Amino acid sequence: TIDRLEIYIGQRKEHIEKSSSFILATVMMAILLLELFIARRISTSTRALVKQINTIEQLNGFSARIEVTAEDELGQLARSFNQLLEHLEDANDNLQQSLEKERQASEAKDNFLASMSHELRTPLASVIGNSELLIDECEESCAEQSRIGLIRSIQRAGEHQLALVNDILDMSKIESGKLSMDEAPYDLSLLLKDLEMMFLTKADDQGIQFAVVHNSEEPYQLQGDSQRIGQILINLLGNAFKFTEQGQVTLTVWSDSKYLFCSVKDSGIGMSPETIDTLFGRFEQVDGSISRRFGGNGLGLYLSLNLAEIMGGEIDVSSNMGEGSIFQLRLPYRPTDIPVQSNPADSQAESVLQQRYSGEVLIAEDTPELQLLERRILESMGVVVTTAENGQEAVAQATTNHFDLILMDMQMPVMDGIEATRVLRQQGVTTPVVPLTANVMQKHRDAFVAEGCKEFLAKPIDRQELRRVLNRFLAQPQEPRIAEPVTEPAAEPSIAVPPQAEEEVDDELMAIFIDSTTKNREKLKTALSEKAWPALRETAHTVKGSAASFGYPELSNIAEALQFALDEERMGVVPELAMDLLIEMGSVLP
């Protein structure tokens, strides 16, 4: 019995051991299969997630979303990723909106500068141009010498305002990275001579001493942008004279193997260290009273420093309150063996030649006083002139008559200059077109070139530039007349009226202004009564420029306010401003 029991127990033990091994093997197999299943599922879900992420990356956008197929950890990861995409999409949309606003603001700034350039240059063209003509008349007649000083004062004021416009445009070009240097060989000694002559008169007027110190034996035939270098030195010298009431201003120039140094030293009011730290910012003045007492806009030093840095140089300042200041310009020293081109204007002045031309020119200009001024200058050079008041008239004239050259204002009513040029080219008119424009920004030049314009003249028109254009397109039938050294001055011929008729010239121009104002007043009434807002804006624009040219700032300001109100569609104030403008126009009429 005992033996049987032992045998039974042994058999059961063996059975249990075999069963346990089988169960253990089964459990292990189940665990392995479960692991494989879980791994496969996780791998499949992960691959799907990665695939969707790669798809989103290829789409290069944030609008796509991952499909959530489970409520597990991977599903939670997918939801979190989708939330991240939403945040990125919102951030990207905000960024795009900001970039668009930045682009629009930049474009608006460019358009504003172009518009202001046009509006400022148009009256300045009249002021500077007529001043030059009056000076020529007084010099030729020898009977108006007492007036030359007053006329030159008007001319200098106009040139000062023109310099301000140019500074603002240069600032815009610098900030947009579009200002380029016009490098060429130049003679620094000639530049220094010009600066010396320019500021000696100013020094005499202020009762201070001025000297230019440099080694005349040192070779100063250099490579660079002489105009920009001169602009920097004029700004530095202008500042020195502005703040020096007694003592002296000295410009010292020297060089070593690497650098050219130009040092401007004055005995003026000086500056504190705190002032020097902010000196080269935009529109910075030593204090709030500076612009009132000494004038200026605070752009000169800002532009000078930026111009120096563009040319690879810098400007250093040292100063003490009450002891004066030293501004030192340092530029790369770049001597050259290339011959310096002589200045055509200088050679012309030295030979005292009065060039005359043969040809017919069409002037398209909507401002009557500028139209008259341009006509007289061209007629004094022997040119036959025909005028048009807008682009449509210019097209009609150019398609029915022969012209050797067309001078085309770019901003005109009815049809602007660019459109008129386009129409002429479409109709097969190949007459050279030279734009007359106060918009000197690069994109406007590009627009002119796109319409086939090879040259352009910026307002106010420089007569030397005008001669350069005429030399290219018109013939010179007569030998230039050499002026007598005593009885005939070297001045350029002025207008085609007797020199003694200055009062008649003024009366004629004023008559044009009165007639134009009368007509514009009627146009204003009609446009206001008919609520013809585009016509109202066009008339306000015309009145603004004309009034500014003839010295009616209040009239010009009201017209400008009306134009801006119409541009900004603030129609609630338009009737009141229009009535104010009508009243002011009536007050200037006889």
* Lowest pLDDT segment from 57-61, 208-212, 522-526: 57-61
| Rounded Cα distance, 62 and 86, in Å | 7
Residue 567 covered by a domain: yes
359-370 per-position pLDDT tens digit? 999 999 988 877
Instruction: Write out pLDDT tens, residues 384-421.
Output: 999 999 999 999 999 999 999 999 988 788 898 889 99
Q: Give the pLDDT of residue 410.
A: 80
Better-predicted residue by pLDDT, 214 or 161: 214
Total domain count, the chain: 4
Measured CA to CA, the distance from residue 363 to residue 559 in angstroms comes to 26
- State the pLDDT at residue 345: 38
pLDDT band for 496, please (50, 70, 90 cuts). very low
Q: Quote the pLDDT of residue 119.
A: 62
Question: Rounded to whole angstroms, how far apart are CA atoms 140 and 487?
Answer: 9
Is 150 among the domain residues? no
Tell me: pLDDT of 141 over 70: no
Mean pLDDT computed over every residue of the chain: 76
Q: Do 495 and 556 sit in the same domain of this protein?
A: no
The model's pLDDT over 506-554, given as tens digits with 9 standing for 90+, comes to 567 777 878 888 888 999 999 988 989 988 988 887 787 677 656 677 7
Are 493 and 523 in a shared domain? Answer: no
One domain for residues 239 and 279: yes
Backbone phi and psi for residue 327, each to the nearest 5 degrees, phi listed first: -110, 120
Q: Which residues of 76-100 are buried (b: 16+ CB within 10 A; e: fewer)?
A: eebeebeeebeeeeeeeeeeeeeee
Q: Are residues 279 and 404 in the same domain?
A: no
Which pLDDT score, from 0 to 100, does residue 484 have? 37
In a domain? residue 156 = no
Q: Which of the two residues, 286 and 136, has the higher pLDDT score?
A: 136
Q: Left if phi > 0, otherwise alpha if psi is -120 to 50, otherwise beta: which for 19?
A: alpha
The reply to whether 405 and 515 lie within a common domain is: no
Q: Is the same domain home to 468 and 541?
A: no
Domain for residue 262, yes or no?
yes
Band (35; pLDDT cuts 50, 70, 90): confident
pLDDT value of residue 261:
94
Q: In the predicted model, is pLDDT for residue 215 greater than 60?
A: yes
Q: What is the pLDDT of residues 115-125, one digit of tens each?
A: 666 666 666 77
Using CA atoms, how far apart are residues 449 and 465, in angstroms rounded to an integer?
18
Do residue 479 and residue 513 come from a single domain?
no
Same domain flag for 563 and 517? yes
Specify if 171 maps to a domain: no
pLDDT score for 292: 39
Query: Same structural domain for residues 271 and 393?
Result: no
Least confident of 191-195, 309-313, 401-405, 430-434: 191-195
Query: For the domain that residue 386 is a member of, what is the CATH number?
Result: 3.40.50.2300
Tell me the pLDDT band of 113, cut-offs 50, 70 and 90.
Answer: low
Q: Which domain holds residue 412?
A: 355-500
Q: Is residue 172 assigned to a domain?
A: no
In a domain, 31, yes or no: yes
Categorize the per-residue pLDDT at 210 as very low, low, confident or very high, splitting at 50, 70 and 90.
very high
In a domain, 317, yes or no: yes
**Mean pLDDT, residues 57-77:** 67
- For position 555, which CATH number holds? 1.20.120.160
Alpha-carbon span 332 to 308, nearest angstrom? 10
Q: CA 255, CA 73: separation in Å to the nearest integer? A: 74
Residues 489 and 507 in one domain: no
Do residue 283 and residue 422 come from a single domain?
A: no
Q: Name the pLDDT band for 455 (thresholds 50, 70, 90).
A: confident
C-alpha to C-alpha distance for 500 and 525, rounded to whole angstroms: 40
